[in-house]
Amino acid sequence: MFRSVRSVAVQVAKRSQVKAFTRALATAAARPSITRVSFAAPLARAPAQRIPIALTQIKPEIERRNMSTAKDENELPPRDVMEYDVVIVGAGPAGLSAAIRLKKEAAKHGLDLSVCIVEKGAEVGAHILSGNVFQPTYLDELIPDWREKGAPLDTPVRDDKFMLFTSKYAIPLPTPPSMHNEGNYIISLGQLCRWLAGEAEALGVEIYPGFAAAEVIYEKAADGTEYVAGIATGDVGIGKDGKPTENFARGMELRAKTTLFAEGARGSCSEEVMAKYGLRKTPQTYGIGLKEVWEVQPEKHKEGTVIHTIGWPAQIDNYQGSFIYHMKGNLVHIGVVIGLDYANPNINPYMELQKFKTHPTIASLLEGGRCIEYGARVVNEGGYQAIPDLTFPGGALLGCSAGFLNVPKVKGSHNAMKSGMCAADAIIDQILREGLRKENEELQAKGLPTVSEPSAPAEHVEHALAGKKLHYYYANLMSSPVIRELYEVRNVRPAFKFGFLPFLMHSAFVEYLSRGRESYTLAFDHKRDCDATVPIAEAKPIEYPKPDGKLTFPLLENLSRSGVNHEENQPSHLKIKPEKKHVPLQVSWPVYGGPESRFCPAGVYEYLDDPSQPGGKRLQINAQNCIHCKTCSIKTPDEFIKWTVPQGGGGPNYTGM
Ligand SMILES: Cc1cc2nc3c(=O)[nH]c(=O)nc-3n(C[C@H](O)[C@H](O)[C@H](O)COP(=O)(O)OP(=O)(O)OC[C@H]3O[C@@H](n4cnc5c(N)ncnc54)[C@H](O)[C@@H]3O)c2cc1C
Ligand code: SF4
């Protein structure tokens, strides 16, 4: 193994070797000894994750290249390059569905497309957090025999409840039509993704967990337009001081004729590409979802029950709701989702989840049980209005990277899958149509009769895809139910700006009467969620109950249940934007009371006393605690944080989210 790690990680000449390398890393990362961090000790002293450790074995090769003395990019050797037809960033439902569909459709047309997925989690599913009540419509279409193949969908929904919570009571309300879940399943989306990854690999897709896309590669076409030509993984073995350590190794370039970004909500490369090509026409708005998985006492468990709640503990002016899903194995998935356009900077989303559990209904359900997992992740809430342009020269945006979450249904995995499938179909369409056009041009030039199908589609892949937009992707989505579904509920979420009661009445009107036929389309009032925060001097203080250690937990204790782990000796992947360096101490702390110290669900941001600083504070960023929810890139005042990918496969290590 040592030889293959060394030769693959550094020389990276053959795909099969890389595969061996990444498999070794994934296996190592999955070992129980490294998936859990004890928070009895400070997180900063957590053991280094397996990936950087494995990379220490390539030291002789590094010495050969004399990397440890390199000072800047110009002194570094070029990155090794691997070429694919399609590179997909992110092994979530969108990316995996795209890959599976591509391979299946390509095979039908005699095409052997090379498809690769990079995934920043140490293994597939490690960074996936979802509810999840899963609508299997598109899984049926993608893998019709998923039941026979043993897909992990084993808790059919049997009961749907919708409730209004007050601090003491749970008042049943009629379940809105969009929240009916007949035919759906309560699942762990991470586990489904692991299963899908197996299906994809069986079809020949190469999947590299533990490799994050850190950089988008752009090239210039003959006409001067810049197109996306693939991605690069980050260099590893760079110390906190920004200098290469003895474990340094350069990242790899994965070049592609088409690059699909399927990074989920607020993807770092996706946001860059959207900004570069001006794809966002209307700003996106987000929510933060925080979740715990509990094993409860068997007599309290009602397998297949889905409960959604509104009301307490939410402030009346916050878009907030909760979910309780009873999954097989006495498991209960419980969480809150809070619109990040909240105004009061005193809100602490983590404590909202803890408070929610103290409701008598929830407390009695969880009593005698144990919390086995905790995590958080943002969701898109902008819906139809916020869908960006989906294509750019050289690729497209899939799933929640673009934003296809149906907010009232709290469902996005099915649409993410379908968007991946539509993009895959668009790639095949483009190869066939472009091939046909070219062949017929040649036949006509020779005075020969034209044909209706290209005779050798494989010959046209380069010409049809490289640097091109995926022309048929949006059309495919438009003719699928995805866009229609989002259009029908387009006015539900934005109506919350009129207040809680008008929102409820309007939602009932849309759900039961108009069903999307409204003559109007409501807009969100703010440009960015961070702009909705009011100064702390104008905000009501909020009291949260002290954690009791049984039902409610201190944040750091719970964080150990996310399995979070990062290589310690690396520069922070949470960067203060250079032009916004003044914001933390001159704006965030004095004006808003440092909201990031409350909204971050991992306790990453701390304002510490420091008499040497103007204002007597300094901001400490405990980047190693980050569970990749992306909230800080959205809700810090003036969005002063740029979220970038850390080295290796760092981050949470979810097993059943
Ligand atoms: C609390 C909560 C509850 C939800 N409940 C439901 C529900 O009940 N039903 C439902 O259908 N949907 C639900 N959703 C929404 C659903 O989870 C998403 O719509 C779905 O996961 C989107 O799929 P995706 O493939 O687009 O992105 P994701 O599932 O986010 O997957 C993206 C993948 O890309 C990887 N990645 C990101 N950036 C990079 C990079 N630069 N390099 C390499 N890899 C990268 C990530 O690690 C991840 O594995 C919920 C979401 C949340 C947060
Ligand atoms: S640092 Fe940012 S991305 Fe990481 S957990 Fe905190 S809010 Fe989420």
Of 574, 594, 581, nearest to 637 by C-alpha is 594
pLDDT at 74: 60
158/67 Cα distance (integer angstroms) = 59
pLDDT at 291: 98
Confidence label for 275 from pLDDT (cuts 50, 70 and 90) = very high
Cα separations in angstroms, 298 against 133, 188, 331, 364, 457: 21, 19, 9, 13, 57
Q: Which of 251-255, 360-364, 448-452, 634-638 has the lowest mean pLDDT?
A: 448-452
Mean pLDDT over 255-265 rounds to: 98
pLDDT at 56 over 60: no
Higher pLDDT among residues 321 and 32, named by residue:
321
- Residues 334, 338, 340, 344: is their CA dihedral positive or negative? negative
What pLDDT, in 10s, does the model give residues 219-247? Answer: 999 999 999 999 999 999 999 999 999 98
3 state DSSP class of 579: helix
Quick one: angle between helices 93-108 and 413-445, nearest 10?
Answer: 30
Confidence label for 455 from pLDDT (cuts 50, 70 and 90) = confident
**Residue 400: its H or E element:** helix 399-402
Pairing of β 252-261 and β 226-233: antiparallel
How many CB atoms are closer than 10 A to CB 401? 31
Mean pLDDT over 139-159 rounds to: 98
Of 239, 580, 129, 177, nearest to 406 by C-alpha is 177
pLDDT at 558 over 60: yes
Pairing of β 115-119 and β 206-209: parallel
Higher pLDDT among residues 439 and 187, named by residue:
187
Of 331, 339, 266, 329, nearest to 292 by C-alpha is 331
**Is any ligand 2 atom within 6 A of the Cβ of residue 214?**
no
**Residue 194: its H or E element:** helix 189-202
pLDDT at 58: 33
How far, in Å, from the CA of 246 to the mean position of ligand 2?
Answer: 29
pLDDT at 73 over 90: no
**Is any ligand 2 atom within 6 A of the Cβ of residue 630?**
yes
What pLDDT, in 10s, does the model give residues 191-223? Answer: 999 999 999 999 999 999 999 999 999 999 999
Which residue is closest in CA terms to ligand 1's atom 31?
Answer: 92
What pLDDT, in 10s, does the model give residues 351-399? Answer: 999 999 999 999 999 999 999 999 999 999 999 999 999 999 999 999 9
Confidence label for 50 from pLDDT (cuts 50, 70 and 90) = very low
Mean pLDDT over 598-620 rounds to: 94
**Residue 411 carries which DSSP code?**
B
Domain boundaries, given as residue ranges, for the chain:
492-522
Q: Which of 51-60, 472-481, 485-494, 537-546 has the lowest mean pLDDT?
A: 51-60
How far, in Å, from the CA of 265 to the mean position of ligand 1?
Answer: 7
Position in ligand 2 atom list of the atom nearest CA 630 = 3
Which residue is closest in CA terms to ligand 2's atom 4?
Answer: 626
Which residue is closest in CA terms to ligand 1's atom 1?
Answer: 289
Which residue is closest in CA terms to ligand 1's atom 15?
Answer: 412
Give me 435's structure tokens: 């091939």
Opening angle at CA 467, ends 211 and 218, nearest 5: 50
Give me 189's structure tokens: 């989306």
Give me 330's structure tokens: 């006495």
Quick one: angle between helices 189-202 and 93-108, nearest 10?
Answer: 20
Strands (E) in 121-274, as ranges, are: 133-134, 159-165, 170-173, 185-186, 206-209, 213-220, 226-233, 236-238, 244-249, 252-261
What pLDDT, in 10s, does the model give residues 509-525? Answer: 999 999 899 999 999 88
Among 11-15, 55-59, 201-205, 543-547, the range of highest mean pLDDT: 201-205
Whether residue 25 contacts residue 4, with contact meaning beta carbons closer than 8 Å, is answered with: no
Position in ligand 1 atom list of the atom nearest CA 211 = 43
3 state DSSP class of 487: helix
pLDDT at 7 over 70: no
- Residues 198, 200, 205, 208: is their CA dihedral positive or negative? negative
**Is any ligand 2 atom within 6 A of the Cβ of residue 558?**
no
Position in ligand 2 atom list of the atom nearest CA 623 = 1
Mean pLDDT over 276-290 rounds to: 96
Whether residue 92 contacts residue 379, with contact meaning beta carbons closer than 8 Å, is answered with: no
> Which amino acid type is present at position 362?
I
What would the DSSP string read from start to end of 339-392?
Answer: ETT---TT--HHHHHHHHTTSHHHHHHHTT-EEEEEEEEEEE--GGGG----EE
pLDDT at 564 over 70: yes
**Is any ligand 2 atom within 6 A of the Cβ of residue 254?**
no
Residue 132 preceded by cis peptide, ω within 30: yes
pLDDT at 43: 31
Q: Which of 14-18, 52-56, 284-288, 538-542 has the lowest mean pLDDT?
A: 52-56
How far, in Å, from the CA of 629 to the mean position of ligand 2?
Answer: 5
Of 423, 565, 486, nearest to 90 by C-alpha is 423
Mutate to test the pocket of ligand 2, among 127, 286, 599, 628 (most ligand atoms within 8 A of CB): 628
**Residue 156: its H or E element:** none
Whether residue 493 contacts residue 321, with contact meaning beta carbons closer than 8 Å, is answered with: no
Query: In angstroms, how far is the first alpha carbon of the chain from the final one?
Result: 32
pLDDT at 41 over 90: no
What pLDDT, in 10s, does the model give residues 166-195? Answer: 999 999 999 999 899 999 999 999 999 999
648/394 Cα distance (integer angstroms) = 26
Mean pLDDT over 81-95 rounds to: 98
3 state DSSP class of 322: strand
Mean pLDDT over 531-541 rounds to: 97
Give me 28's structure tokens: 């190592």
